[in-house]
Amino acid sequence: MNVLVAADIADEAIARLEKHFTVTKAFGLNEKELIERARDADVLVVRSKPMVTRKVIESAKHLKMVARAGVGLDNIDLEACNEHDIQVVNAPSALSESVAELVFAMLLSFERNIVRADNSLKEEKWIKKELKGVELHKKTIGIIGFGRIGSHIATIAKGFGMTPIAYDVHWDQEMADELGVEFRELDALLSESDYVTLHVPLLPQTRGMIAAGELAKMKDSAIIINTSRGGIVDEKALYSALQEGMIRGACLDVFENEPPGDDKLVKHPHVLATPHVGASTEEAQTKAGVIIADKVIEALVP
C-alpha cells in the first residue's frame, strides 16, 4: 500500500511507516498538485496543511485513510470522507503540553513586558520604570473548552496560585473534581475571569463564538488568549474591543487568515502575536507523527 506524506512529520514516524508501506513525501502542495500526487495513495498524511478538499478525496480512488498529525480537522472535508468510507484519524493527545505551555509563555511575556524589555536593551535603552508588570498569582483564568489542553491549563494555573474556572458543552465533572476546577456558564466565565483562554475546535457552532457581545461581558482589565483556531474569535470585534478599551489585551497564536499579512489586529500595541506555533516543539511533533504512524499501521496492517 502507498502512503503519501504531504506534510513534514518526524523521521521516527516515517521510519515506522516505511516498515509496512511504500512511503512518498511531498510537501507544500496546492490542490491541483495534491490531487495528482494522491491519485494512487491508500493513506494521506497531513498536518494543518494541505487542505484535503472534496476534489482531492473524490480523485483519490484508492484512499482508505486520512491521517492528521495533530488535532484540528478543519482542513479535511469530513463529509466527503464519510461519504466515501474514508477513515480519518488524528493525534489529540500529542499537543496538549506544548499548547498549554505556550498559553503561559504568552501570558507571562504580556504581563511582564518581556518583548519590549528585550527590544529596549538591544536598542541600548534602560526603561525599567516603564516596565512594571502584573502577577498571575491569585488571578482567575477562564478556560473555554475543558478537554486535554484545557485540563492541562488548569493544572499549570494551580501551580501559579491562580483560580481556574471552565466552560464546556460536554462537561466532565469527574475530571473537574479531580483538578479542583469549577464549572461556569459561558457568560459567567467571561465576566469573572482575568484571563480567558480558548481551547475548542473550529466547528460551525464555534465559529465566531467570541464576538462583540461576548467581549463586552469581559472585564476591561481582562486578556483573551487564542491558541485554538482563528475563526473562533471575531477579529473585527476584537480589534474594536481593544481600540475602545473594553479589554486590556489579546495573545493570539492563530488567525482567520494565515499568514495574516498586513493586519491591523496583529500590529495593535495591546496584542502579542505568534505565527501558529502552539504545537511547534520537538516533543509535540515527534509524538504527533508517531501516534499517527501507529494508528495507520494498526488499522491497515493485518
Residues in CB range of 168: below 8 A, 6 or more apart: 144, 145, 146, 147, 150, 183
Contact 264, 68 (CB under 8 A): no
How many Cβ atoms from other residues are within 10 Å of residue 249's Cβ? 19
Q: Where do the structural domains in the chain lie, given as residue ranges?
A: 2-92+282-300, 95-273
pLDDT value of residue 280:
93
Buried (b) or exposed (e) across 155-175, using 16+ Cβ within 10 A? ebbeebebbbbbbbeeebeeb
Question: What crossing angle do the helices spanning 282-300 and 11-18 adopt, rounded to 10°?
Answer: 10
Give the pLDDT confidence score for residue 267 in this predicted structure. Answer: 96
Q: How many whole angstroms separate alpha carbon 212 and alpha carbon 220?
A: 13
Torsion, CA 252, CA 253, CA 258, CA 259, rounded to 10: 90
CA-based nearest residue to 142, from 221, 207, 222 = 222
- pLDDT tens, the chain, 302 aa long: 999 999 999 999 999 999 999 999 999 999 999 999 999 999 999 998 999 999 999 999 999 999 999 988 989 999 999 999 999 999 989 999 999 999 999 999 999 999 999 999 999 999 999 999 999 999 999 999 999 999 999 999 999 999 999 999 999 999 999 999 999 999 999 999 999 999 999 999 999 999 999 999 999 999 999 999 999 999 999 999 999 999 999 999 999 999 998 899 999 999 999 999 999 999 999 999 999 999 999 999 98
Cβ atoms of 11 and 30 closer than 8 Å: no
Which strands, in side-by-side order, build the sheet including 195-198? 182-183, 163-167, 140-144, 195-198, 223-226, 249-252, 271-273
pLDDT of res. 262: 85
pLDDT tens, residue by residue, 47-99:
989 999 999 999 999 999 999 999 889 899 999 999 999 999 999 899 999 99
- Write down the pLDDT at residue 261: 85
Question: What is the reported pLDDT for 24?
Answer: 97
Q: Do domains 2-92+282-300 and 95-273 have the same CATH topology?
A: yes
pLDDT digits (tens, 9 = 90+) for 285-302: 999 999 999 999 999 998
Of 235, 285, 238, nearest to 258 (Cα)?
235
What CATH number should be reported for the domain whose range is 95-273?
3.40.50.720
Residues with a known catalytic role? 229, 258, 276
Task: Report the CATH fold assignment for 2-92+282-300.
Answer: Rossmann fold (3.40.50)
